[in-house]
Amino acid sequence: MDRDTSTSAGAASARRGRDRLAVEHLPRPRPASPDGSRRPTLAALFDPRDNSLDVLRLALAGFVAVVHGTANGFGRQPHVGTTDLGSVAVDGFFVVSGFLVTRSFLRLGSLRRYAWHRFLRIAPAFWVCLVVTAAAVAPLAAVLGGQSAAVVLEGPDSAPSYVSSNALLLMRQFGVTGVGDPVRGGQAVLDGSLWTLFFEACCYGAVAALGVVGVLRRRAWLLAACAVLWAATIAAAAGVDLGTELMLRFLFIFLLGAAGYVFADRVPVSGALAAASTALVVAGLHLLPDHRALAGPAFAYVVLWAAVRLPLRWRPRWDLSYGLYIYHWPVQLLLALAGAAVLGAVPFVALSLLLACAAAALSWLLVERPCLRMKDASWVQAPLPRRRRGAGGSPGTGRGDRPHEESR
């Protein structure tokens, strides 16, 4: 999910080099049969510079915003069976993220660089969003609700507490004193999209752990891990209380995306298989409380098939997907408090998308892009010092920053 935004010739050259390296780290596609009957694989069709992932991520963020718009403005959101469609879009995010984050780990070949890149991608914009929501959105929402702006500084659910309680990504405080929900009543949720980011970060850590112990380079082990998570998902859908349903959900779907990358040379890209997988997903949505129990792998296949087959090759210079995801909810809350729901569902949602995209653009220009430019900072590029013989380790034990070898 990292994007090089530098326009200098040197940076462009480095970007091309990284893309070539990424192609080398992708599993080699299996050769076609002499008669040409073998279908192309994901490895053969995935081009790091020419794919639909940017548009797909933006579309998924927009879809989540539309679903939340109907909930925040009118108290309802579309469902298929017992599953709200916003959750399906979030699952799509996790599949794409699993694919790209695994690629990033294997490409970088350094746990330190990987952790720094992941931190820059998610944390700074999240923190700024917390501050903006507490310092600007909450007081304005209180005023729109007939309260004083200063009321948000009172009580245990104060605006400062909102920032401090949620600063580690785990959302422990969802509302602020004096901000009411105009649709559902009671205290409003200031930003109901942020809670998934904790699970995203946990999945980043899972990829790092699996990479360090070698699971990402031993296909059978990764396949076994996915099988165990699938079995646990089936058990949870059958009523077994595992106590970790959300973590199970996100880790399972994320690792399916990771497996899509690791097994890319074995995954055929077939329209017929994508259609059958889509039918299986629809059946799972209608028949089960958790469609992943039936169609988790099928869902991941549909998302990855779309990444290489959809004719949406546009690569915007501004990546608005993350900003749109984290800012659309507070924008919709303010619109609902201002009475914009009288416009009707379509105008309300369209206006919220327009304003949320403006907030996302500011987030990209002022926070995300400047932070991502620091991903190759000199301190993170510098090799770690090597230990001397007899000092508790063998020479050159700072191997954490060495590139991974594909033969291992």
pLDDT score of 18: 43
The DSSP symbol for 193 reads T
Least confident of 26-30, 340-344, 371-375: 26-30
Mean pLDDT over each residue of the chain, to the nearest integer: 85
Please give the share of the chain, as a percent, with pLDDT higher than 70: 85
Domains identified in the chain, total number: 1
pLDDT score of 37: 47
Which of 127, 137, 133 is CA-nearest to residue 168? 127
pLDDT score of 397: 32
The sign of the CA dihedral 72, 78, 84, 90 is negative
Least confident of 38-47, 120-129, 183-192, 291-300: 38-47
pLDDT score of 392: 38
CB atoms within 10 A of CB 350: 14
Q: pTM for this structure?
A: 0.84
Q: What does the pLDDT look like over 302-317, one tens digit per residue?
A: 999 999 998 877 778 8
In the chain, % helix, strand, coil (3-state, to 5) comes to 65, 0, 35
Classify 342 as helix, strand or coil: helix
> What is the band of 242 on the pLDDT scale with cuts at 50, 70, 90?
confident
Report if residue 388 sits inside a domain. Answer: no
Report if residue 127 sits inside a domain. Answer: yes
Q: Which domain holds residue 81?
A: 52-381
pLDDT score of 221: 93
Q: What does the pLDDT look like over 159-172, one tens digit per residue?
A: 999 999 999 999 99
Residue 2 confidence (pLDDT) above 60: no
Report if residue 249 sits inside a domain. Answer: yes
Greatest Cα pair distance, the chain, in angstroms, is 76
Specify the length of the chain in residues. 408
Report if residue 18 sits inside a domain. Answer: no
Report if residue 59 sits inside a domain. Answer: yes
45-81 as b/e, with b when 16 or more CB fall inside 10 Å?
Answer: bbebeebbbbbbbbbbbbbbbbbbbbbbbeeebeeee
Report if residue 39 sits inside a domain. Answer: no
Locate tokens 């996790």: which residue? 94
Query: Average pLDDT for residues 79-106, to the nearest whole number?
Result: 92
Q: Is 392 exposed, middle or buried (0-12, 13-18, 19+ CB in 10 A)?
A: exposed
Query: Average pLDDT for residues 212-231, to the nearest whole number?
Result: 93
What is the rounded CA–CA span in Å between residue 277 and residue 273? 6
Report if residue 403 sits inside a domain. Answer: no
What is the rounded CA–CA span in Å between residue 154 and residue 135? 13
Query: Average pLDDT for residues 255-279, to the nearest whole number?
Result: 95
Residue 20 confidence (pLDDT) above 60: no
Distance of CA 229 to the CA centre of its chain: 19
Report if residue 402 sits inside a domain. Answer: no
